[in-house]
A and B are shown apart, each in its own frame.
Chain A
């Protein structure tokens, strides 16, 4: 079934890893064994790094208020501006990685920059400087995202890419869930030991960078050098160092020219449109609390609910995406979100409904966060993979940011029910359009 779905295009995309491309690999029982070592290594790096960064995130409010005795109000003022900047940083990181095909090197710079921010926190004690360090941390995240996703896509076979991204996202989310636990373990052993939290966070981040350096294959064109003879000339994409040298140089212009590829354009426009109607997490949790009457005590736990379902479903939905089509699962994820909006609009008030909404919210992430780059990878030539993934990801992120600004402004004017109704209608229209635009066979 998935063979038919994949269509004839599968045969024309051999620039990616060739190992393990068997039908058996798609069977659920062989799920984990079919994960390339590179993807597992990158997943491990993400898991470790997320433990480190979420440790800091979890204690930061407490540190600022209780540790430093500062008022955190106005802390988020630059947030909005920085959201825009981090989108551009991601494009820059993707482009830099494609130039000379040095994905790993650029990723090391990104992870390294974030790691170095942790000890900096030991030395800054005022809000503007702490904000500065966090901005630097996020710059590191912006730089590394596109080359990392490009490496995942290049290391996995086209028919297993959804599963590879699913495993990576599950490991990433697992780290995010572990981070606060580690942080509060440290604070439990050492009351007010924020410096210890930052130091441990740095040690963990450094370990992440080391795993990346040691266990993720680097060099140029990681996937194709293994067997350049097979790939040369099949689809015009580069194969090995010689072919890379022969192919046109990667320039900003060539990265922008990606938008002339119909599939890339369609995915970018679709992801952006859907992003415009994706209500930000903070608003979803506020809405769960306001509309479903969740107690104050449970409020801080709501993001954990989403993360739990994201963690559990990321890989199964990635596998499903490989079988029935990534675009279909990507759209399905938005239908889950649509359903969540719908439930929030019902007059029912109870904790069970909140649980269902969070399950749908987590399903939305599991069906979209890794599935989008998996779908996009098939549309973007290997030599521009990082640039292409950055382009689509940035479009989506900026659209979500615009949505959250508009949503916040509209909330106070017309109320939460009306604004959520509008978002829901918008999402339904965009999803309908997306279903139309993304119809037909997809590139593997």
Chain B
């Protein structure tokens, strides 16, 4: 092959590959643009005031296509599928209790995205920003609104890096005292102090300002742990419990459990755990749920499942009876206000 022929081949290839690359970006860009147009039959959304202090409202991340996509929206609790009021606050993950909100959000930078955990007041104003080191996955606020917790995925940095871990932080919003990682707490596993390199935590759910439940994973096993903020301890309670969520009366946990014989891509089912008898009851939802459920009242939990336009919100009784029902389309991370 002559130098000239090589050069021509290169130019032609660059033109061809460039066209393919350009077309793929344009196609994706067009698709992203379509997200700004409301889908037919979607829930009506309009701008307005969203408060974390009112009564009888549910606030969540709106995933419906249109100009208010990803905004926080508010709907009446008794009409969750109805018209949505949107505020210009965008969160990847959201939760609120007693007038305190946590918004785990992304900021685009030139080299990479950066993430923040923003603590919001009842009018969605940012009180404090905490930089976080990875992609948000869970967040919770204690019933009093004083304590907040969040979990992020931290990725490895090796070639084709694929070593992930979680980092779970807790902050006291009265003093802004931050525990950057639960890994600094003492672990008591089956009665003994426990140390390991591969410890991961996620899915904090608060009982009160001093106590919480969470998931601990180590050596391929997950554990339900009980955390004590003052003593800085985490005590294991039982195995195979992920993303626990405590009932408002603090007597039951609903969690996702890895069930044997399930499709490895859809390994989880929702279970309720009675904290007095330690008895487990499978809930009526038969699909795999990868979410930390939210209690909408003493008898019902809500969770996300993939839908046509982002996640849909589903509910199921927390005692194993009844059946799963879709509550709202294109809605994520509900918090019940008042």
Contacts and interface: CB of A to CB of B under 8 A. Distances in A.
Contact of B92 (A66, A79, A180, A215): A66
A411 B133 contact: no
A186 B13 contact: no
A190 B13 contact: no
Contacts of A200: 21, 24-25
A192 to B, nearest CB: 6
B275 interface: no
A132 to B, nearest CB: 11
Nearest to A184: B112
Contact of B6 (A207, A215, A409): A215
A62 B155 CA distance: 9
Interface stretch (B51-59, B139-147, B194-202, B230-238): B194-202
A57 B134 CA distance: 14
Contacts, number: 156
Nearest to B17: A203
Interface string B145-162: 000000001011111111
A interface SS class: helix
Interface in B182-228: 195-197, 199-200, 217, 220
B121 interface: no
Given A58-B112, A79-B163, A196-B25, A408 B197 contact: yes
A203 B156 contact: no
Nearest to B167: A296
Contact of B134 (A61, A75, A138, A196): A61
Interface in B39-84: none
B290 interface: yes
A207 B25 contact: no
B110 A184 contact: yes
A304 B25 CA distance: 26
Contact of B24 (A196, A211, A214, A408): A196
Interface string A279-296: 011100100000000011
Contact of B217 (A70, A73, A141): A73
Contacts of B220: 74
A73 B166 contact: yes
A191 interface: yes
A126 interface: yes
Contacts of A352: none
Interface of B: 1, 6, 9-10, 13-14, 17-18, 20-21, 24-25, 27-29, 31-32, 35, 92, 108-114, 130-135, 137, 153, 155-166, 180, 195-197, 199-200, 217, 220, 264-265, 290, 306, 311
29 contacts: A61-B153, A62-B113, A66-B92, A71-B137, A71-B290, A72-B164, A73-B164, A76-B164, A134-B162, A137-B160, A138-B160, A186-B28, A190-B31, A191-B35, A193-B29, A199-B24, A203-B20, A207-B14, A214-B1, A214-B9, A281-B158, A282-B156, A285-B157, A296-B130, A296-B180, A300-B133, A303-B157, A304-B111, A412-B199
